[in-house]
Amino acid sequence: MIFVHLIFGVILGKILGNYFFFILGSVLPDVDHLYILFKNRFFSIKKIIGSIKFEKKFGVEYKTPLFHSILGLVLFSTIVYFFNNQKALYFAIAYLLHLLIDWLDIDEKQFLYPVRIKYKGFLPIWSEFEQVLTILLLILLLFLYW
């Protein structure tokens, strides 16, 4: 869900009053995407969009096991806890929400990594459902700021 994670982070930040940790937890799991982009030299917009939508065709998996797993949630939340123990829960909630949202995506994830059980959702990347959800969340966000 390309924009949904960020929008959810902003919404949670607006409602609960801490933008930084909610947004960080919402988007940090997708930092692994940057690694895949650089590793495979996907520098053009066409290659980036194509590889995100059609991972198998491009021979890549954007959701690496560590960042998109409960282990990643615990590991990164613990690191945040050492920097700010009072806000680490906000980060952890947003990270968990990211994983739950990604459960719907059609690409394979290993939420229980290092156990090699793979999960696969049913929604294609940037599906019509995701586009509608993105628009509805943006409307909600505008309503919250109005």
Packed helices 128-145 and 4-16: angle between N→C axes, nearest 10 degrees: 20
Beta bridge mates, 108: 120
Number of H helices, E strands in the chain: 8, 2
Average pLDDT (16-38) is: 94
Average pLDDT (77-101) is: 97
Q: What confidence category does residue 69 fall into, taking pLDDT thresholds of 50, 70 and 90?
A: very high
Q: What is the predicted pLDDT for the residue at 144? A: 94
List Cβ neighbours of 84 (8 Å cut-off, separation of 6 or more): 21
Q: Are 73 and 42 in contact (CB under 8 A)?
A: no
How many Å apart are CA 120 and CA 24, to the nearest integer?
25
Percent of the chain with pLDDT over 90: 84
Q: What is the predicted pLDDT for the residue at 2? A: 81
Q: Are 91 and 25 in contact (CB under 8 A)?
A: yes
Q: In Å, how far are 56, 114, 119 from 125, measured between CA atoms? A: 12, 25, 15
Average pLDDT (112-141) is: 94
Helices (H), 43-127: 45-53, 55-58, 70-83, 88-102
pTM of the model: 0.92
Q: What is the predicted pLDDT for the residue at 15? A: 94
Q: Judge residue 109's burial from the number of C-beta atoms within 10 Å of its C-beta, 0-12 exposed, 13-18 middle, 19 or more buried.
A: buried
Look at residue 107 and tell me whether its pLDDT is greater than 90: no
